Amino acid sequence: MKSRATILGQCPNLVGGSRRDVAARVQERAGSIRSSARHTSHIAPQPGADGAARHPYQIRTPPILVFLAGCLSFLTLCGVCRAETPPAAGAGEPRIVNIYNFVRNSDYRLANSEDVLYGCTERQIELIQKAKLPATWALQYDALINPRYQKLFKEQLGTNDEIAAWWEIPRPFAERAGLKWRGQHEWDSTANIGFSPGYTPDERRKLVDVYMADFKAIFGYYPRTVGSWFIDEVTLAYLTERYHIVASCNCKDQVGTDGYTLWGGYWNQAYYPSRLNAYMPAQTRAGQIDLPVFRMLGSDPIYQYANSPGMSTLEPVYPKAGGSANWVAWFMDNLIHQPALAFGFTQAGQENSFGWDAMKTGLTLQIELLAKQAKAGEIQVATLAQAGEWFHHRYSLTPPTAVVALDDWKQQNRKTVWYDSRFYRINFLWENGAFFIRDLHCFDENLVSVTHDTPLQTESLAYGTLPIMEGKLWSGAEKAGIWPVLLPASGEKSPLMPDGSPVVKELTSTDLSISQPLHEGGTFTIICGETNVTFSGVNGQGQPLRWAWDMVGGAKQKSAVREVTQNGIAYRQTGMDYQLRLGSTGSSCRQLDDGSIRLLPDSSGKLVLIPCPVLSK
């Protein structure tokens, strides 16, 4: 049974902030206010910016891995949740970087904006061409129809560059499609005006036809990729099935930034979206749009979480993050050297609305570093189209991926591990001498987006998934999280304390192991698998620990939980039923007097959690 999501249904405070005037926004987003040799695959020939015939985009994999992947693709997944299995990834997977610059013609928040934005794009091209790196240049419609940009791209881009589409809706685009313009400026950042969900499904398809026809008339071919902060599933499906685009991208996970909230989704890398909800990863071939959606902006895996203060991303305008040589080196070192399972990915680059002066320091240092790392074979710099083709040829379903950071650029001894599959995401955080589960969300392709067939009416947008734990949004007087505790035979519970750093390893193409030494001896082991997470604890003598997970979420957890039983927890959010099930015989679950929920392992110290939607009959 399919359910329709309601915007902001799970937490009214998902959208925060308001549209700002340009002086405040540029200063803020520049950081003055809001800033408080394993990968040896080769890149096939790139597309020509002039539209000449091009080879299929492909990041090549050694032949033995192709053979192994083909063999393993015959295996089927045996688990509690019915599932289809993507081909195995094998070892030595690539670390892909896409330099993505989207291009607007004007911005009402800037004086003399047309010249400022055009000049910025000129300098970006000059910098990246000098480094001989491929890049994706995504044109908003107002830039697409400007002869000045047409001439610039036809004359200055190289054969390795990709000209793509940026999917915001400015006045000339809407009017070219025969739609009434509702904005106050030539381009309006208000969500229900500037983005595709603000239009009816028929209007969305009409916009696609107009853009594609005009792009082809100018460049002689259709764009291969289309990106935006958010694109609805009707538009993505139409772009894929009629015009055969090979990839899309959307905004990083965030809460309230610029009035746009995407929260609880596939954290990084890329996923196949549900046909009913572009933000929700699909679980089946039948339920997915056959188009990988890559996550933008390169989020700090430790500090860029929910509505945390500051902005910690790879965007070069932020002097304490993407504009800092130290931060960028830290971020790229983790991308290159830490486990990632299927592949590692980040998106670099910057929108031209910031102007060259705000980005030149950060973008220059990033491009220089990326060129050096690409030459060393540590990363592969690819266009979005190339990354999309590789993903599509390699995976028929969304593969599991990981993002790991075991050192802290702030020197505050925090560490984190993110794991994503097409069924769930989970995040572990180490801080203040403890570790816990900060975040756990379920994915269900049957959750229908509220804007699937109805235009967005509000000036902000918010899309989410199905929360089991919200470490930030559910925190109140007590910090929300799923906390490991020791349960002695007599006396009070005590925290399960780590001793030293965890050891994180890839066990298989889908399974990630976290082994944490414990204070006073022993080890706590976590294995993240595609459909479940397994925990086990032993003491210094190898005997089972008496331990448990305590789920703390206050009033918001209480409102999400429908029932706690011996075998798991039933939830209901945004009109959808889902559950956290216990998969090991002898384990148990119970509600405590203080409102928290305790998950107990079996007698061997083992606990299996299955974050899984209730399957439709």
H, E, C per residue of 292-360: CEEECCCECCCCCCCCCCCCCECCCCCCCCCCCHHHHHHHHHHHHHCCCECCEEEEECCCHHHCHHHHH
The C-alpha atoms of residue 157 and residue 252 are separated, in whole angstroms, by 27
User: Contact, 72 vs 66, CB < 8 A?
Assistant: no
User: Contact, 576 vs 562, CB < 8 A?
Assistant: no
Residue bearing tokens 């235009």: 455
**Side-chain half-sphere exposure of 412, counting CA atoms within 13 A:** 9
Q: Are residues 326 and 428 in the same domain?
A: no
Q: Are residues 157 and 245 in the same domain?
A: yes
The CA-atom distances, in angstroms, between 365 and each of 116, 314, 325, 327, 378 are 22, 12, 7, 11, 17
In-domain check, residue 505: yes
Confidence bin at 2 (pLDDT 50/70/90): low
354: CATH: 3.20.20.510
Residue bearing tokens 């192709």: 66
Q: Which of 357, 378, 399 is the last residue of a domain?
A: 399
Confidence bin at 3 (pLDDT 50/70/90): low
Q: Are residues 41 and 101 in the same domain?
A: yes
How many domains would you assign to the chain?
A: 2
Residue bearing tokens 């694109």: 231
Q: Are residues 413 and 312 in the same domain?
A: no
Q: Which of 352, 375, 399 is the last residue of a domain?
A: 399
Confidence bin at 16 (pLDDT 50/70/90): very low
In-domain check, residue 12: no
Chain Cα centroid distance, residue 176 = 33
Q: Are residues 256 and 394 in the same domain?
A: yes
Q: Are residues 368 and 431 in the same domain?
A: no
Of 59-68, 339-348, 437-446, the least confident: 59-68
In-domain check, residue 422: yes
Q: Are residues 61 and 124 in the same domain?
A: yes
Name 107's bridge partners.
Answer: none
In-domain check, residue 30: no
Q: Are residues 394 and 411 in the same domain?
A: no
The C-alpha atoms of residue 574 and residue 11 are separated, in whole angstroms, by 10
User: Contact, 507 vs 527, CB < 8 A?
Assistant: yes
Q: Are residues 389 and 522 in the same domain?
A: no
**Tens of pLDDT along 178-197?**
999 999 999 999 999 999 99
Q: Which of 382, 399, 416 is the last residue of a domain?
A: 399
Q: What is the pTM of this model?
A: 0.88
The CA-atom distances, in angstroms, between 378 and each of 113, 134, 305, 381, 556 are 38, 16, 27, 10, 43
Q: Is the pLDDT of residue 382 over 50?
A: yes
Which stretch of DSSP H or E encloses residue 365? helix 356-375
472: CATH: 2.70.98
The C-alpha atoms of residue 265 and residue 188 are separated, in whole angstroms, by 26
In-domain check, residue 5: no
pLDDT (mean) for 465-486? 95
What pLDDT does 615 receive?
A: 53
Of 40-49, 374-383, 553-562, 600-609, the least confident: 40-49
Residue bearing tokens 């289309």: 226
Among candidate residues 428, 441, 425, the one with its CA nearest the CA of residue 473: 441
The C-alpha atoms of residue 545 and residue 533 are separated, in whole angstroms, by 18
- Element counts in the chain: helices (H) and strands (E): 13, 33
Among candidate residues 251, 565, 253, 607, the one with its CA nearest the CA of residue 437: 607
User: Contact, 252 vs 295, CB < 8 A?
Assistant: yes
Residues for the chain: how many in total?
617
Confidence bin at 259 (pLDDT 50/70/90): confident
The C-alpha atoms of residue 159 and residue 162 are separated, in whole angstroms, by 8
| 3-state SS, residue 204 | helix
pLDDT (mean) for 49-65? 42
The C-alpha atoms of residue 90 and residue 78 are separated, in whole angstroms, by 20
Q: Are residues 157 and 231 in the same domain?
A: yes
Q: Are residues 518 and 535 in the same domain?
A: yes
| Residues of the chain above pLDDT 90, percent | 80
Q: Are residues 229 and 257 in the same domain?
A: yes
Confidence bin at 92 (pLDDT 50/70/90): low
User: Contact, 435 vs 417, CB < 8 A?
Assistant: no
| 3-state SS, residue 591 | strand
Q: Is the pLDDT of residue 171 over 70?
A: yes
* Cα angle, residue 426 at apex, residues 85 and 584 outer, rounded to 5°: 70
The C-alpha atoms of residue 147 and residue 583 are separated, in whole angstroms, by 61
The C-alpha atoms of residue 613 and residue 446 are separated, in whole angstroms, by 9
| Residue numbers of the domain that contains 501 | 405-613
